[in-house]
Amino acid sequence: MQEFYEFVTSRRSIRQLQQAPISRDRLKRILSAGRWAPSAHNAQPWRFFVLQTENRKVQLAKAMGRAFRQDLEADGEAPELVDDLVQATVDRFSSAPVLVLVCLTMGPMDSYPDKKRQQTEFMLAVQSIAAAIQTILLAAHVEGLGGCWFCAPLFCPEAVQQALGLSEEFVPQALLTLGEANETPDPPIRQPFEEVVMFLGEKEE
């Protein structure tokens, strides 16, 4: 049991990855684990698009880079800073051995006539997607690989869909980088237990 807790706490977001590819078997095991995450109504509203070829990775990275540039310029950021940030984004995503674009589909979810419940249903799908992502990251960890959850696609969903020729049905939620770790970061601090866990109506122990 102790091993499980050590395993969970030793998972890190690994941003520096080696160039070495991941074998198809390993990748399949990792992504297959994602399918076993809990999901609302067991609808499994996730779709995982895997990018390993240079062309695809660069195509996506550049499309996201262009969208990022537009946002930064609209914010009035200094041109040199914009160039640096955009280049870092393009390099990061182009150089990862494997990119997994996690998309949400409302296809298998329930639909409601009113906006309020429909928004709740969308939220259920988002939460299910997050559970799948965490499962994938833990599976990568058990395989001894590194990976990181990037939110960039959420900021430019249309650019991502266009770059990869995806239909509007697939709503980009996150981009995961996977590969052999090239860094061993220290654990970022967690908020104290007492601050985030409340035993309501019980005395402090």
Ligand X SMILES: Cc1cc2nc3c(=O)[nH]c(=O)nc-3n(C[C@H](O)[C@H](O)[C@H](O)COP(=O)(O)O)c2cc1C
Residues in touch with ligand X (CB under 6 A)? 12-13, 15, 148-152, 188
Q: Cβ 34 to ligand X, closest distance in Å? A: 15
Residues 6+ apart with CB under 8 A from 158: none
Q: Which residue is nearest to ligand X (CB)?
A: 13
Give 62 or 110: the residue with its C-beta nearer to ligand X.
62
Give 192 or 201: the residue with its C-beta nearer to ligand X.
192
Positive or negative torsion for Cα 126, 128, 131, 133: negative
How is residue 16 written in tokens?
């520096």
Q: Tokens 């990775």 map to which residue?
A: 57
Please say whether the beta carbons of 147 and 176 come within 8 A: yes
CA 142 – CA 131 distance, rounded (Å): 17
* DSSP, res 114: S
Q: Cβ 176 to ligand X, closest distance in Å? A: 10
Give 68 or 170: the residue with its C-beta nearer to ligand X.
68
**Which amino acid is present at 178?**
L
- For 7, the 3-state DSSP assignment is helix
Q: Cβ 13 to ligand X, closest distance in Å? A: 4
How many whole angstroms from its chain centre is CA 116? 26
Phi first, then psi: what are they for 6, rounded to 5°?
-65, -40
Give 97 or 147: the residue with its C-beta nearer to ligand X.
147
Give 66 or 114: the residue with its C-beta nearer to ligand X.
66
Q: Cβ 188 to ligand X, closest distance in Å? A: 4
Q: Cβ 148 to ligand X, closest distance in Å? A: 5
